[in-house]
Structure 1
Amino acid sequence: MNGAIQLALVGMSSGSLLALTALGIVIAYRGSGIINFSHGIVGTVAAFAYWELNAGQGLSPVLAVPGALLAAALCGYLTYRLAIQRMARMSTLSRTSVSLIVLVVVQSALTLRYGADERIVQPIFPTDPVSLFGIHLGKDRIITFFIATVLVALLTACYGRTRFGLATAAQVENPIASAALGISPARIATSNWVIGSVFAGVAGVLLAPIVGVQIVTLTHLIVPALAAALIGGLRSFPLTYLGALLIGVTQAEVTRYVATPGWADAVPFLLIVLVMVWRGTGGGIRTAIVERRPKVGDGHIRPFILLTLVGGSILLLTLVFDLSYVTAMTITCTYGIILLSSVVITGYTGQLSLSQFSFAGIGAVITGLLLTRTGMPFLPAIALSLVATFVVGALLGVPLLRTRGVNFAVATLGSAVAIQGVLLQNPTYSGAYTPLPGPLTVFGWQVDSLVHPERWAVVCLIAFVLAGLVVANVRRGRVGRRMIAVRTNERAAESVGLNPWRVRLYAFALAAAIAALGGILVVFRQPTMVFERGFAAFDSILGISQVVLGGIGYIAGPLLGVLGHPGGFISTLLDSDSATTPLWIALVGGILSIWYLQARPDGAAEGLGRHIHLPRRSRPAPVTATTAAPPGRVPERTLRGQGLTVAFGGVVAVDDASLDVGPGEIVGLIGPNGAGKTTLIDAVTGATRPKAGTVTLGDKPIGSMRMHRRVREGIGRSFQSLELFDDMTVADNLKASVDARSGSAYLTDLVWPRPTAFTAGALAAVELFELGPDLDRLPTELPYGRRRLVGIARAVAAEPSILCLDEPAAGLSSTESAELGVLLRRLADERGMGVLVVEHDMELVMRVCDRVIVMERGRIIADGTPGDVRRDPRVIAAYLGDEPTEAEPREPVVARNETAREREEAEQ
């Protein structure tokens, strides 16, 4: 028992040091909105600076510690000002990738300067033991625990009560508003980044006497620190501190009582999963709406160019290249396949995954076990391994995909560390260093890399081409349209009937299988199967930085990015056998990569395509319908919401509201800003879960359904903020709404993405809104009024029974507004659609609506015909102002200051 308690106390001490690193991550994130993945290497810089000053220059700890912290602060300052800040207008993915590249650059520089050997540092604090409740613990451990606890208290007070802390919170919540108040977002972000780096320095200096000064050990501290920060929600200092203590104690106990290696490293990942399961799937959807993401290719294949390149490469491999260039081609293709997986999960669906090299290792392990223990031929073993890795990816994706964005990146990095420790470095499971089971053959053709390296290179080249064709096929088909829709805007994707979680899960599993193919080819290039090298968690960090540089939305991106990989074409061209050559390539290439990404955030592939003038879309969008019959009347169903109450925290946005919309009826929903109109539409369409109340469509209760299921039942909607899929053409926006939802496309699109023709409903929407000339254009290329019509047409194309429109006339001229009213009347009268419309254009509402519902402060205060509502004294007092005459309807008075309650509702 005493042993367990002593281990817990030791774990708390190490956890307190881990907390210092985690707190620094939280500080940097609170100030900039970016997770600093180079945070661990900053602590390493401080540790080496302390060793240099103390052991090298003979300075006392009193002078060496401030010097080390100054080095950490300078490192953080330069990282933010020279790398991160200059990409302020770029996507979070691009800025996060820059922090990953900084990690590679600084790590390479430190390795060139100090090498990989461990250095011993004298203790800063006394180490003689102290007895606590009969348990002996070193004084240094107690002191570090006390330091961490005091710093947590100071941080909590500082960021909760000081002007600096409040300014930090303000600029993160709304940079534009805070700038208007005189707060400099750049200065606040830089200050927080520097403070966070100092905390990393404190952790590095205090850890140096305990674990030694070594690059790998201190750099890898970032993984459990990120887990602790995620437990704290990347905001709470006390919760982050408690999470770090929990990780430290659990790791200490697991190390003592679990004999199987690797499980201590898996603790952060397991805690991340538990936290995600506990917190659920919340949030973060609307914040992604305005974010600019890297461009993606269209997936079109140019057969002549492809055959020419492949044929020429095979001739070079077999007739021209010597062994060094054959090896370079092999490395480029195999690692390029692994990076292709990032194109699917990160490029197409926008989820930053840092576990792709781990899936590559899983595929290699499964193939090795099949070959050695079953005697299965090589190709069937590969095929079965890909299927098995797909299943493993899907199983891991179930908990991991309960979050998204930077949290997802942290979770996947944690899973990579767990896989590395439990599986890849465990000979019990992986059978490391096992000789290959006989010569490898493909269709009877011997392809052993030692005997026939050029043949193995050809196999790897063909494998890359096939994997690239799969990725291109997915992009061109229905599945690719689903992925791009989810990547662009998850809420809008749900509004056209897509299940974002299902799409992201498939992308994650498919990416795992593609990475497995690359991992298999990497391992079987050697005479023995080695799994513990080449598939480390930090290889995924290097890989994501490479593919972002090459162009993460393009098939050619992985090839361009992997050119600088150790053993690739760049190192071969330099013709150097020096062990430092890869380090210099990483250092210089990383610096150039940061500069290039600041100028070209979409990667080299996008710039290459523009320079050689490849067309963005090779053919016009098809406009043929699947049937020649015109669309008829939609199924007639009534939408009813009874007693709906929606609350955000302590603010009640909708209070016991009831409404109904019948077939062929246009119902207007009006009221002042902040009245709860959009929230009420969100409640009936499933975008917001009400606290109380019921929703039915026809006789079917739909209140428990997610939005995409309600859409399939017959509810369509548009959004006040448009929320179009800006990375897809107008035609593809409409197709995303009418595509068949069968799961067969997830399989057939891998090999044959059949073109999707417009349905009769989609063609009718194109004709009704006169979108024919715009079908092959991106929404961002259209005037605002046309874009709003595209949003309405996308909802109409699915032929819903009930159509919910949120301010459809906003931004339209009076003529366009009048034409919109005619179109809405036709949808109701000719097609039988029920229309619920939120609008401030009183002339439009009074002219086309059969009934008008008025809301004020979350409550419905009137429901009747337009004439009755215009004469209602409560409506006049709350919204319309003085009573208008029958001959001249009066415009609503909406220009007034929003209350704090209304602002909070808008933010929600």
Structure 2
Amino acid sequence: MNDLILFPILGLGAGAVYALLSLGIVLIHKGTGTVNFAQGAIAGCSAIYFGIATSNGTPLLTAALTCIITAGIGGALFYAVVMRQLRQAPALARIVATLGLMLLLQGVATQVWKVPTVVARPIFPVDSIRILGMNFGIDRVYLTGTAIVLAVVLWAAYRYTRFGIVTRAASGNERGVALLGYSPDAIGAANWALGCMLAALAGVLFAPIAALNISTLTLLVVPALAAALVGRFDSFGITVAVALAIGAAQSLLTRFWTQPGINDALPFVLIVVVMVVTGQLIPGRGARETSRLPLAPAVRRRAAPLAAVAAITVLGLVLLGNTYRDGIVTSLIMVMLALSLVVVTGFTGQISLMQMAFAGLAAFAVSKLGQDLGLPFPVPIILSAVIVVPIGVAIGFASLRVRGISLAVVTLGAAVAVSSFLFGNASWTGGADGSHVPSPSLFGWSLDSVAHPVRFGIVTLVVTLALMAGVLNIRMSSLGRRMLAVRSNERAAAASGINVQMTKLQAFGLSTFVAGVGGGMLAYQLGAVAFTRFAPIASIMLLALAYIGGIATVYGALTAGVIANGGVLYVALTSVDAISEWWIIISGAMLIINAVVQPDGIALAVRQQVGWAVRRFRTPPPAAITSTPAATPAPTAVDA
């Protein structure tokens, strides 16, 4: 019986950290209408710096203030340089900007601090107290009290102070606030600074009770998002209460349920239940979205571009060494995975952050079907892709109730739940050794990716070209036009007779199938599938690559494959020292820059430049103008 009380109390420490993170998310949304997916990464960097600094003798208060002040300045600068340009941009552009910041911070932390083994010094006392026959650390009381006090202070400040009133007014009508003489940009910068400072405080308080691993700390944003969602990104009290309840429930689950990853799945369950039952939970802003979505240009049935891709790829496979061959195959598989995002996000506008989770489910299914049941290649790939389609459609049902930022939150929570609950289960994945995949063969020909890389590369090329052609046909079909109509304006699409719900479900089903095929090919390439390949950060990286390449075009997916980690460009640049260690930083920076400067992606930018050059070359110069004597008009009757 005591455990039913003790374990929830122990979980209040983590719950208080979730509360501080979610309070920062609420502040940033109040000020700018943006959901900051980098909130956990900010807390993670602060926690690692605080742990290292205090272990090296820096006073606790000095280290804590350094983290908090630096985070505040960084948040204001990020708003001024990036988010200010995207204040009236569509949700996708704002989401990818914060995801870019997440990748950038995670890469910097990994590069600068690696994986520190220090233990941070606690700010609050850690003495044990005894209540009702139960012993627990008094720091849990301090942490919970801090979260509650800050919630009360913020509630009072945003209700009674001029700054809070103006922020709430800007949330309803930015133009009206501007007419009254207040700057929406100043309001946004201030709220970004405060939100990031709360994230840094959460990291400082969490550092003594958690492992200083940036990947784990980054995903603290998921339970924080769950709490903020229930509070409708508005109520400080409800947000803190839900965050504390999540922490307490997670701790209680560890006592009675030993299934790995169940704690990480809990916030996702909460997100789905609350969001799908109640509908759109993220309130709209009083500002029009004037920026356009990424271009999805019309295409024609031309075999020449695909033939050129095939010819270049075959030449590379035949003439280059095994390192480049492996890079080419990796690029081709990443093209398949990026194509899944082109369908669901580029064409339909539904933001998915779990495409790599779909690929991972298919990859592990390939292992089971090929190794355990002995099904020959390529049957396991086809069956696995079909098996994961209902899962994608189930996620698609969430898009019938929520969209935009809300759907991104749902899919990120689903990716974390799948990664922890399924991929973290050693009985399913094989643990650290991975799940073995048999060597493929076709008509008696071995297609082993190590022994016969050219053969496997050509088969991968054929599959990639087939998927590219399929997605091109979707774009040119009536289904593609319906998808673009839904992306542009769901109400207008419905008014014109389009079944919006069915179109969304079809998009999720098709994209999941494409991701499943990519995951199956990846399984055969690797030979043994490890769950780390399909972690939530991999889905975020995939979205980054697809957006940089051009998320609404097939050739944008091709560009994404070329620049992918482990792809052709990556292999070509490995001659530069430590390029692999900086790749995630480069990707994050490119994602932020693309969101602001080139939302259409590299592929369309190149296409536009080539088109301009072709027109310039083909247009004949203007004819020389020669002077000729004016003709004398014939006399008229009047002249006569």
| TM-score, length basis structure 1 | 0.65
Q: 2:585 aligns with which of 584, 587, 595?
A: 587
Q: Please list the CA deviations of residues 178-202 of structure 1 after superposition, one character each: whole Å capped at 9, or x if unmatched.
A: 1111110111001000000011011
> Residue 161 of structure 1: CA displacement?
2.3
State the AA in 2 paired with 1:376: L
Maintained 8 Å contact 2:55/2:118? no
Deviates more, 1:596-605 or 1:414-423: 596-605
> Residue 282 of structure 1: CA displacement?
7.8
In the other structure, the counterpart of 1:796 is none
> Residue 403 of structure 1: CA displacement?
1.0
Could you tell me how far apart the structure 2 residues matched to 1:282 and 1:373 are?
A: 44
Could you tell me how far apart the structure 2 residues matched to 1:154 and 1:435 are?
A: 51
Q: Please list the CA deviations of residues 747-785 of structure 1 after superposition, one character each: whole Å capped at 9, or x if unmatched.
A: xxxxxxxxxxxxxxxxxxxxxxxxxxxxxxxxxxxxxxx
In the other structure, the counterpart of 1:848 is none
In the other structure, the counterpart of 1:527 is 527
Maintained 8 Å contact 2:398/2:407? no
In the other structure, the counterpart of 1:405 is 404
Deviates more, 1:590-599 or 1:8-17: 590-599
Q: Please list the CA deviations of residues 630-683 of structure 1 after superposition, one character each: whole Å capped at 9, or x if unmatched.
A: xxxxxxxxxxxxxxxxxxxxxxxxxxxxxxxxxxxxxxxxxxxxxxxxxxxxxx
> Residue 574 of structure 1: CA displacement?
2.1
In the other structure, the counterpart of 1:426 is 425
In the other structure, the counterpart of 1:33 is 33
Could you tell me how far apart the structure 1 residues matched to 2:145 and 2:281 are?
A: 35
State the AA in 2 paired with 1:183: Y
Could you tell me how far apart the structure 2 residues matched to 1:53 and 1:316 are?
A: 49
Instruction: Name the CA shift for 1:143/1:364 in 2 (closer, same or farther; >3 Å).
Output: same
Instruction: Name the CA shift for 1:325/1:303 in 2 (closer, same or farther; >3 Å).
Output: same
State the AA in 2 paired with 1:30: K
In the other structure, the counterpart of 1:449 is 449
Higher Cα radius of gyration: 1
Q: Does 1:600 align with 2:601?
A: no
Secondary structure in structure 2 of the residue aligned to 1:524:
helix
> Residue 173 of structure 1: CA displacement?
2.1
In the other structure, the counterpart of 1:61 is 60
In the other structure, the counterpart of 2:637 is none
Instruction: Name the CA shift for 1:135/1:113 in 2 (closer, same or farther; >3 Å).
Output: same
Q: Does 1:493 align with 2:501?
A: no
Deviates more, 1:33-42 or 1:140-149: 33-42
Instruction: Name the CA shift for 1:245/1:187 in 2 (closer, same or farther; >3 Å).
Output: same
- In the TM superposition, structure 1's runs of 4+ consecutive aligned residues that sit over 6 Å from their partners are 282-289
> Residue 408 of structure 1: CA displacement?
0.6
Maintained 8 Å contact 2:120/2:207? yes
Instruction: Name the CA shift for 1:246/1:401 in 2 (closer, same or farther; >3 Å).
Output: farther
Maintained 8 Å contact 1:468/1:555? yes
State the AA in 1 paired with 2:483: M
Could you tell me how far apart the structure 2 residues matched to 1:273 and 1:86 are?
A: 32
In the other structure, the counterpart of 1:242 is 241
Maintained 8 Å contact 2:42/2:196? yes
> Residue 213 of structure 1: CA displacement?
2.6
Could you tell me how far apart the structure 2 residues matched to 1:366 and 1:518 are?
A: 13
Deviates more, 1:408-417 or 1:219-228: 219-228
> Residue 228 of structure 1: CA displacement?
1.4
Could you tell me how far apart the structure 1 residues matched to 2:575 and 2:396 are?
A: 42
Maintained 8 Å contact 1:12/1:249? yes
In the other structure, the counterpart of 2:620 is none
> Residue 575 of structure 1: CA displacement?
3.2
Could you tell me how far apart the structure 2 residues matched to 1:311 and 1:301 are?
A: 18
In the other structure, the counterpart of 1:231 is 230
State the AA in 1 paired with 2:297: G
Secondary structure in structure 2 of the residue aligned to 1:612:
helix
> Residue 285 of structure 1: CA displacement?
9.5
In the other structure, the counterpart of 1:254 is 253
Could you tell me how far apart the structure 2 residues matched to 1:256 and 1:208 are?
A: 23
In the other structure, the counterpart of 1:99 is 98
Identity %: 34
In the other structure, the counterpart of 1:514 is 514
| TM-score, length basis structure 2 | 0.91
> Residue 328 of structure 1: CA displacement?
1.0
Q: Please list the CA deviations of residues 583-619 of structure 1 after superposition, one character each: whole Å capped at 9, or x if unmatched.
A: 223324433443344221211111112112199xxxx
What is the count of residue pairs matched by the alignment?
611
Could you tell me how far apart the structure 2 residues matched to 1:437 and 1:363 are?
A: 12
> Residue 399 of structure 1: CA displacement?
3.7
In the other structure, the counterpart of 2:83 is 84
State the AA in 1 paired with 2:124: F
Q: Please list the CA deviations of residues 358-382 of structure 1 after superposition, one character each: whole Å capped at 9, or x if unmatched.
A: 0000111222111123221221221
In the other structure, the counterpart of 2:475 is 475
Deviates more, 1:567-576 or 1:477-486: 567-576
> Residue 351 of structure 1: CA displacement?
1.4
Maintained 8 Å contact 2:51/2:120? yes
> Residue 118 of structure 1: CA displacement?
3.2
Could you tell me how far apart the structure 2 residues matched to 1:510 and 1:532 are?
A: 24
Instruction: Name the CA shift for 1:455/1:203 in 2 (closer, same or farther; >3 Å).
Output: same
In the other structure, the counterpart of 2:379 is 380
Maintained 8 Å contact 2:549/2:556? yes
Could you tell me how far apart the structure 1 residues matched to 2:68 and 2:452 are?
A: 54
Alignment of 1:190-205 (within 5 A): 190-205=189-204
Could you tell me how far apart the structure 2 residues matched to 1:106 and 1:563 are?
A: 24
State the AA in 2 paired with 1:39: Q
Instruction: Please provide the CA RMSD for this pair.
Output: 2.2
Could you tell me how far apart the structure 2 residues matched to 1:171 and 1:434 are?
A: 51
Could you tell me how far apart the structure 1 residues matched to 2:499 and 2:174 are?
A: 32
> Residue 97 of structure 1: CA displacement?
0.7
Q: Does 1:611 align with 2:609?
A: yes
In the other structure, the counterpart of 2:156 is 157
Instruction: Name the CA shift for 1:609/1:284 in 2 (closer, same or farther; >3 Å).
Output: farther
State the AA in 2 paired with 1:324: T
In the other structure, the counterpart of 2:621 is none
In the other structure, the counterpart of 1:304 is 304
Secondary structure in structure 2 of the residue aligned to 1:367:
helix
Maintained 8 Å contact 2:126/2:137? yes
Provide structure 2 residue ranges, at least 5 long, that are not aligned to the other structure: 614-640
In the other structure, the counterpart of 2:295 is 295
State the AA in 1 paired with 2:425: N
Instruction: Name the CA shift for 1:239/1:590 in 2 (closer, same or farther; >3 Å).
Output: same
Q: Please list the CA deviations of residues 9-39 of structure 1 after superposition, one character each: whole Å capped at 9, or x if unmatched.
A: 1123321221101111111111111111111
State the AA in 2 paired with 1:45: C
Alignment of 1:661-810 (within 5 A): none
In the other structure, the counterpart of 2:626 is none
> Residue 284 of structure 1: CA displacement?
7.5
> Residue 559 of structure 1: CA displacement?
2.4
State the AA in 2 paired with 1:252: S
State the AA in 1 paired with 2:247: G
Could you tell me how far apart the structure 2 residues matched to 1:398 and 1:508 are?
A: 9
State the AA in 1 paired with 2:609: H
Instruction: Name the CA shift for 1:324/1:288 in 2 (closer, same or farther; >3 Å).
Output: farther
Larger RCO: 1 or 2 (CA < 8 Å, sep 6+): 2
Maintained 8 Å contact 1:289/1:488? no
> Residue 414 of structure 1: CA displacement?
0.4
Secondary structure in structure 2 of the residue aligned to 1:378:
coil
Could you tell me how far apart the structure 2 residues matched to 1:417 and 1:593 are?
A: 22
In the other structure, the counterpart of 2:12 is 12
Instruction: Name the CA shift for 1:106/1:507 in 2 (closer, same or farther; >3 Å).
Output: same
